[in-house]
Structure 1
Amino acid sequence: MLNSKASVPDALIIGAGVIGMLSALRLHQAGLRVEVLDQASLPGKEASWAGGGIISPLFPWRYADAVNRLAAYGQKVYPELAQELATNTGIDPEYTRNGLLMLPGEEQALGEEAEDWARRWQLESQALDRATLAALAPAIRGAERALWWPSIGQIRNPRLVKALAERLRRLQIPVRTGVRVDGIEQTGGQVRGVLSSSGRLAAGKVIVTAGAWTGRLMEGFGYSLPVEPVRGQMILFRAQPGWLRQMVLSDSHYLVPRRDGRILAGSTLEWVGFDKSPTAQAASLLREKALALAPGLEDFPVEHHWAGLRPGAPEGVPFIGEAPDCRGLYVCAGQFRNGIVMAPGSVALLADLVLQQTPWLDPLPYALNRTPVPASEAV
């Protein structure tokens, strides 16, 4: 049964990850009636929950400006956003500005390109020799030099997800879980709602923030959008508070110390479709890479191992905007490895477009029918 006219939301958001929930919050604050749908039993339990929470692209100099502009926005607003959520929900997302140490590796050189990038984006950057590195991070062994970005922060993804869900609950923004969307309704090139496992749901606008499922969902709507799942696996060491204070990156592997002493070690990049099963092979690899960075981790147990599906998009540039031939159908997805850091900027751009306001940055690089950006190195 179609929802009644009196209850028809101004915007129906498909996907209750960080981007979907932030979009609901932003549009609600702008005066729209918003509802959120998610196929899972709990909001935010996919890539939003599974990621590392580093508030920076891992190799920002490899990305197009379209990625770095969104990332810079997120870096600016996260301290205030985390505080606002903690104040209004009692759940602290644990934003922590503990800096990022980058070590050279087989895949990662730390030459002029990285330092030039930091100067261009006005990011504090320090080159460390072996003695300075040892004094700063005694748990890290074997590196002759490093690049230190002290202003980079992190956020604890599961707590961010819980805080956003609680914020929406207190604002009485409906989040309907366990609802599968199967199709879209449109007439005359104008969206009218969706077809779902709960029946026909009318809406003034439909916003797809379905992460790795976005490409498949849009294909079901009759649109081709190159967003695909990319599995990433993590392990978690139960270490002691303060044992490692800085985030550490070498090649595609990193360590993220949480406030309670736990240390997250990631990650893998696997194109295996929608299979998000953790594998013993990945767990062994992640432990090996973690011990190579910080041998003392051998003294701590691995407490947890999990996998998630990132929404991969070409060159890591997300799709943000309205479908070219369907008014009222919007997408905000494809943030790939950088969903957390790009989420606030992505949502700000999406909201500007939905509300027909002057966008805070040029939307063309993110358009659904955009011309591909110049190819970057593997990200």
Structure 2
Amino acid sequence: MSDHVLVVGGGVMGLLTAYNLAAHAGRITLIDRSAVGQESSWAGGGIVSPLYPWRYSPAVTALAHWSQDFYPRLGQRLAVDTGIDPQVYTTGLYWLDLDDEAEALAWARANGRPLAAVDISATYEAVPVLGPGFGRAIHMADVANVRNPRLIKALKAALSAMPNVTVREQCEVQGFLLDGQRVVGVHSAQGEVLADEVVLTAGAWSGELLQTLGIDLPVEPVKGQMILFKCAADFLPSMVLAKGRYAIPRRDGHVLIGSTLEHAGFDKTPTVEALNSLKASAVDLLPALAEATPVQQWAGLRPGSPDGIPFIGALPRHPGLWLNCGHYRNGLVLAPASCRLLADLLLGREAVIDPAPYAPQNRIPL
């Protein structure tokens, strides 16, 4: 057991890492450069599945399946403990007119997932507001979405109730403290913070921080923009996805449309071009939205990584430093499994998933 664990980055990875470790460490300090959960964890759509799960490697699939099975329990536990319901909402998901439908169905058979082709007329019966002209559909009934801003609030509330956890916001980390090669803390805007173990969960900023140690972590910001509509609570009964764009219903009638994929550095400015493109996709999917005005538009920065495979585990060159970052488009999907795996490795327990595909020493030039 470590006396003091410092978690750098307060998105869903950092919050859930701290949540998993709190019962096993003397003290936990979580530091964030702004307010917790205000970057990609807030900005994402919250679909509890990769958009096209069959297009990912077994490494991503293993984390996704564990997390998908765990999310309902996590949501219930947080709702009971904090009074804040993250609204893990099982609506199912329809994929429309896929070019690789055969590959998707073969993947589902091989992985035992309940994905099946459905008659297009049955799809229109199930989702009457769906736009015309779609010819084929596949459906997975058990796909949920989580209301990610509420998940962040619930995790923060849970940590705030733990006497051995300290959350420090508006505290930017500028580099790492070393004793020889061992990482023993960080330099921050509020001074030095010492710790026995440091876990880096800084999302799109993780690569910049590791550069201070001369380590080239292939994680970079990838901008995504979304828009939000307010509809009747029963307007959209299921998530739908076509041509790379999706519509996600919340329980109260809000409908999210996303998202763009842009390489624009750390710029998070919403653009008119993205707004027009997302509105056009919204109307293609759900023509009734032609008469609606988006109530909000925003942008976030995904932590892009090669093949979307996160970096989870220790950095052998710098004992005391652990990574849990680089989840690209699937941070909310993969968070429960990733944070459980990180906790298993740090605490020396049997790992819930084979850690080898995510091990930093196998994937970063050190």
The partner residue of 2:94 within 92, 95, 101 is: 101
Quote how far apart the aligned CAs of 1:371 are: 4.6
SS in 2 for 1:73: helix
Q: Does structure 1 residue 116 correspond to structure 2 residue 106?
A: yes
For residues 350 and 273 of structure 2, the distance between their equivalents in structure 1, rounded to whole angstroms, comes to 49
Q: Does structure 1 residue 154 correspond to structure 2 residue 145?
A: yes
Q: Considering only aligned residues, what root-mean-square deviation do their CA atoms show, in Å? A: 1.3
The one-letter code of the counterpart of 2:121 is A
Q: How many residues align?
A: 361
Q: Does structure 1 residue 307 correspond to structure 2 residue 299?
A: yes
Which has the higher mean CA deviation after the structures are superposed, 46-55 or 176-185? 176-185
SS in 2 for 1:13: strand
Quote how far apart the aligned CAs of 1:370 are: 2.0
Q: Scaled by the length of structure 2, what TM-score is found?
A: 0.96
Aligned to 2:39: 46
For residues 362 and 334 of structure 2, the distance between their equivalents in structure 1, rounded to whole angstroms, comes to 19
Q: Residues 25 and 292 of structure 1: is their aligned pair in 2 closer, same or farther, counting only changes over 3 Å?
A: same
Contact 1:241 1:259 (C-alpha < 8 Å) held by counterparts: yes
Residues 296-330 of structure 1 deviation map (CA, whole Å, 9 limit, x = unaligned):
11232210000000000000000001112111100
The partner residue of 2:331 within 336, 339, 357 is: 339
For residues 222 and 235 of structure 1, the distance between their equivalents in structure 2, rounded to whole angstroms, comes to 38
The partner residue of 1:90 within 83, 105, 115 is: 83
SS in 2 for 1:265: strand
Q: Does structure 1 residue 257 correspond to structure 2 residue 243?
A: no
Aligned to 1:139: 129
Quote how far apart the aligned CAs of 1:128 are: 1.7
Which has the higher mean CA deviation after the structures are superposed, 20-29 or 124-133? 124-133
Quote how far apart the aligned CAs of 1:9 are: 5.5
Quote how far apart the aligned CAs of 1:57 are: 0.3
Aligned to 1:375: none
The partner residue of 2:277 within 267, 280, 285 is: 285
Residues 7-32 of structure 1 deviation map (CA, whole Å, 9 limit, x = unaligned):
x9511000011110000011002244
For residues 363 and 169 of structure 2, the distance between their equivalents in structure 1, rounded to whole angstroms, comes to 35
For residues 72 and 26 of structure 2, the distance between their equivalents in structure 1, rounded to whole angstroms, comes to 26
Residues 175-224 of structure 1 deviation map (CA, whole Å, 9 limit, x = unaligned):
10011111111223222111111111110011000000000111112211
Residues 82-112 of structure 1 deviation map (CA, whole Å, 9 limit, x = unaligned):
01011111111010111011011xxx41422
For residues 212 and 105 of structure 2, the distance between their equivalents in structure 1, rounded to whole angstroms, comes to 44
Contact 2:60 2:308 (C-alpha < 8 Å) held by counterparts: yes
Q: Does structure 1 residue 29 correspond to structure 2 residue 23?
A: yes
Contact 1:9 1:35 (C-alpha < 8 Å) held by counterparts: no
For residues 30 and 252 of structure 1, the distance between their equivalents in structure 2, rounded to whole angstroms, comes to 42
Contact 1:94 1:155 (C-alpha < 8 Å) held by counterparts: yes
Contact 2:20 2:343 (C-alpha < 8 Å) held by counterparts: yes
Q: Does structure 1 residue 16 correspond to structure 2 residue 43?
A: no
SS in 1 for 2:340: helix
Unaligned runs of 5+ in 1: 1-7, 373-379
SS in 2 for 1:272: coil
Residues 144-164 of structure 1 deviation map (CA, whole Å, 9 limit, x = unaligned):
120010011110010001111
Contact 2:248 2:256 (C-alpha < 8 Å) held by counterparts: yes
For residues 123 and 322 of structure 2, the distance between their equivalents in structure 1, rounded to whole angstroms, comes to 46
Q: Scaled by the length of structure 1, what TM-score is found?
A: 0.93
Contact 2:5 2:25 (C-alpha < 8 Å) held by counterparts: no
The one-letter code of the counterpart of 2:195 is A
Which has the higher mean CA deviation after the structures are superposed, 261-270 or 183-192? 183-192
SS in 1 for 2:48: coil
SS in 2 for 1:256: strand
Q: Does structure 1 residue 215 correspond to structure 2 residue 207?
A: yes
For residues 248 and 171 of structure 1, the distance between their equivalents in structure 2, rounded to whole angstroms, comes to 39
The partner residue of 2:219 within 212, 222, 227 is: 227
Q: Does structure 1 residue 324 correspond to structure 2 residue 316?
A: yes
Aligned to 1:377: none
